[in-house]
């Protein structure tokens, strides 16, 4: 598609996990599309520059343009993203609704990367508690077995 292979989304949250879960990146990525007529798809992305995927959720989010500003850095003027957006065309959702919908979508992508994660964490707590109790028992048992050996 557009010269790029679409990734396997069942694993994308894990594939993009740096220090965290990958969810933060995906949440930003799906919310930072903007119009760029120089691109074949007509879209570009702040989190993934020159991305091969168009903005598939554009009807919900509408069209936005990032607001840049300039500052001096080591004697050069550099452009930076101010963190603000200009809404060019409204979407069918408000910005808050869109953020919540993307949040749900990303939670789903993360769950799909490892559906057993919640169970694993829950069972893990019991395993650690069992090991703690068993260590106490083993310690006292050992003391009692060796009690009469001088
Ligand atoms: C709601 C539906 C979709 C979601 C949640 C989604 C999500 C994603 C994500 C998370 C990535 C990976 C970004 C990365 O590697 O950092 C990606 C890449 C990509 N997606 Fe989608 N996608 C969707 C629909 C589509 C559709 C409909 C198309 C085709 C028209 C498409 C085409 C692509 C392509 C070509 C890439 C690779 C981009 C590149 O490597 O430059 N996606 N998508």
CA-proximal residue: ligand 1, atom 21 (nearest): 53
Q: Is 13 in the pocket of ligand 1 (CB under 6 A)?
A: no
pLDDT at residue 34, as a whole number = 97
pLDDT tens digits along 8-59: 999 999 898 876 778 999 999 999 999 999 999 999 999 999 999 999 999 9
CA-proximal residue: ligand 1, atom 42 (nearest): 53
Residues sharing a CB contact under 8 Å with residue 93, sequence separation 6 or more, in sequence order: 60, 61, 101
pLDDT tens digits along 100-143: 999 999 999 999 999 999 999 999 999 999 999 999 999 999 99
Q: What is the token pair recorded at 105? A: 């979508």
pLDDT at residue 19, as a whole number = 63
With 0.75 as the threshold, say if the pTM is over it: yes
125: left (phi over 0), alpha (psi -120 to 50) or beta: alpha
* Ligand 1 atom showing the smallest separation from residue 109 Cα: 5
- Rg of the chain's alpha carbons, rounded to an integer? 25
Identify the three-state secondary structure at position 60. Answer: helix
pLDDT at residue 1, as a whole number = 78
Domain boundaries of the chain, sorted by first residue: 12-115, 116-150
H/E run at residue 106: helix 95-113
Distance CA 14, CA 8 (A): 11
């Amino acid at each position: 598609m557009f010269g790029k292979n679409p990734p396997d989304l069942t694993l994308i949250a894990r594939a993009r996990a740096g220090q965290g879960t990958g969810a933060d990146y995906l949440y930003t990525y799906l919310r930072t599309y903007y119009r760029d007529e120089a691109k074949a798809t007509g879209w570009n992305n702040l989190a993934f520059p020159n991305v091969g995927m168009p903005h598939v959720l554009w009807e919900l989010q509408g069209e936005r343009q990032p607001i840049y500003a300039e500052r001096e850095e080591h004697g050069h003027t550099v452009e930076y993203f101010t963190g603000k957006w200009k809404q060019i065309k409204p979407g069918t959702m408000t910005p808050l609704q869109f953020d919540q919908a993307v949040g749900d979508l990303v939670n789903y992508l993360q769950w799909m990367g490892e559906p057993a994660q919640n169970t694993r964490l829950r069972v893990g707590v019991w395993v650690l508690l069992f090991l703690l109790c068993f260590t106490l028992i083993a310690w006292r048992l050992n003391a009692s077995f060796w009690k009469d050996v001088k």
